Structure 1
């Protein structure tokens, strides 16, 4: 168990940023848990160790998991509390504070996204996902120069003309990412520099942020990451909170009708469909359970080999990708009784560690795989092992269990996972799946 008193004493005596290697930090506080080197969420939120360095008047600066940690004197640099909530979970009282926190930003960099037009266009119009439309609206409303971080083209101005492309920075070699980050910052210094003394706000995933942060700091720039550690759904909710009309932007494609749940639906759909946020079962189980002890929705994804296994068992083609989505913790109606289920108990306890009798998803998979192998019964251990090899899960939390059941229905109608049955349109896959499931009631 780490002890933070020595670190507090060191920080209290410092008047400038304190950068520690991982070994140096552990020599001060003791051994850190494995989650500290794997998950950025461990370094945020209302946690004893986070409150320790805050009590010394420091906030977390640059973080390289398992390598270095930098503590910076001054107020918290986050613009949003890193709680695990999405639409409805942002503290309304802090909305004004977040708005005033944008004062002093000189440049805004936003991330590219996978969803693009099929024809060349100005970069600001090429990317078409709900995340990008919100990023763009936020950047344009700030009144400062903004650029797009493109895995293919480096730093891109909004009006630069681009053709569609397919490149995802986390899939590139470390040598490419290192050169890419240096190239981006040098170009930014050329186009909008000099960077010394300027504050650059980054709206991107950790791979993009890590690639450019060190080079920005070397140029004398300050770096802000207001969305650090947030899931896709949380990011969309954060942008909604900044907008004049939360949840509805000009290009979002959301029906601006009177029912506010439409904005939540769009945010959850975008989150559940973003495979970039998917975790393997091992990664999910390695997380702090407290991070996911809340209601919410989740989506399960299968790899190519797993899709082949399901195709064999069903006799119907299952493509790699999204196969199932569900919820945890929704209020039961019409009784109004609150559920004690959480995302953690549903995924870790019922899906990955349970019995098919208590998990619709396990029963579905088990029925298909048992038929594929010619077995009369579902082998629970083999099923769990198969899930760990071939599946990944995207998790989006919520703080509104009362509307979660209705929200799930709208989300499922939009994303239409092939292995969901209840309330879904009949398809050959679902018809065959029902037949196989009858053998394992």
Structure 2
């Protein structure tokens, strides 16, 4: 087992920074652990190994540079990327952005005690308390010249705000469009750049903030980011993309035999019947969302489920015991129709007549569980119970479901 005490003792006499070769580190601690050879997250993680220092410029199998950390405004600054999901009114930048990812980024930035700023695609560098109007610009959608000029602008604004960047440690918590535009510019000004989330999918980013430590994931260029939550929400909320159950079945599963997210929509007449059963208003539109195929969180086992299998066999099947959504619909409609049991054939006919659905493939099964939670928080579908806060509609739905057996899906 590696002994990090010699490294800590050696660093104690270092005033600013020091670079050790891979061989020197191996000899000093008695052999580096396996994860140190393949995971960038290892060097961004447990800093108790090199207490008081940050590992930067990690060159696998070659060398690692350690820089002494300086607390507060004198040494560290945190930059947080903006997101698409915003309030529909003006607000301080720290409150304007409302996605689950931004909320976690903000909480992390505030917990460091260091000064932090928002990277706005529209305004450049923004203080958290600066009031902004909602805007639609996304940096990733801008041409290269805009992104280049934006990066120069941001680094200039940062220098004007906190002074010379030489010796500062800049933590970047943003998407690649933002970090790519400023990374080299920051380094050219003498700043050390830390990107603890670089190469991680969105789901693993959310886990990083939730767990307080980076997950073990390679920082390989082949690691592809999962779609951002705002993009998924936008796709799940595009009525023009919704298809009838019959149209879905007619695809034969083409492009749908994959993990992903889905949303269910109800028309006006169907909403009226649901409202009668729930005894609460139900608006026509999106009523339920979910996922198919996410890696099981406890066991880490891959699910064999797919969008095609979940929707065709479970939701549109003829047994409510195998579908949370089907059981909820059947329970509400049984109440509306004043029937003691769920009529499977009548329920199926009702679904074909009144519902539409949108299926969005997501390749990253490991991220899918966290993505679903973030999407549900943004959409707040009335018929979702799991991962959702209680309210009168969900309390009523829970009561209606009880007589109709335990769901097994």
Report the TM-score range of the alignment, normalised by the length of the smaller protein.
Answer: 0.3 to 0.5
TM-score calculated relative to the size of structure 2: 0.48
* TM-score, L = length of structure 1: 0.45
